[in-house]
Amino acid sequence: MSSPIWNFFHLTTYEAMAKILDGAGIDPAFTQGRRHVSWYVTRKLVTWAMPHVCQRHQVELSQVCILRCKIEITKMAKTSHAGVYCTDQIFYPVTVDSAEIWLQHEEKLVFVKGTRTRPGKWYGRAAH
């Protein structure tokens, strides 16, 4: 009997997404962290992960996309934060969404902290 398949979400920049969609998949070998693993979150934590990706990659929210993958839960490793998973395997996305459009559909706000070169900003439906 196979294990249940869950929807996991991987957030990245549009630049990296182009490489992923060109056939490479979400490959842990291209990660910037100490561990060569790909990070995924559950649906509830997508808005939580958005500011992290903006800060980590020094991009605006308009440059972040959300890749949805269907993955067996046994292929994922839990982390110390509930809803955050990692894996050293390559997976391919099923759908791609813009982070800004995601926020509008979810009717949530997210604050992306500023850096030395740009101020912090609120994103989401109520921000317009």
pLDDT in tens, 70-119: 999 999 999 888 999 999 999 999 999 999 888 887 666 676 777 667 77
Indicate the number of domains in the chain: 1
**pLDDT at res. 108:** 65
Q: If you average pLDDT over residues 33-60, what whole number do you get?
A: 89
Under DSSP, the state recorded for 89 is: S
pTM: 0.82
In a domain, 113, yes or no: no
d(CA 113, CA 10): 21
In a domain, 108, yes or no: no
**74 near 8, Cβ under 8 Å?**
no
In a domain, 34, yes or no: yes
DSSP H helical ranges for 58-116: 99-106
**pLDDT at res. 33:** 74
Beta-bridge mates of residue 96 = 67
**Between the CA of residue 121 and those of 27, 33, 59, 67, 71, what are the distances in Å?**
31, 26, 12, 23, 33
In a domain, 31, yes or no: yes
Give the CATH number of the domain where residue 51 resides.
Answer: 3.20.170.30
Q: Which domain holds residue 80?
A: 5-100
pLDDT band at 10 (very low <50, low <70, confident <90, very high): very high
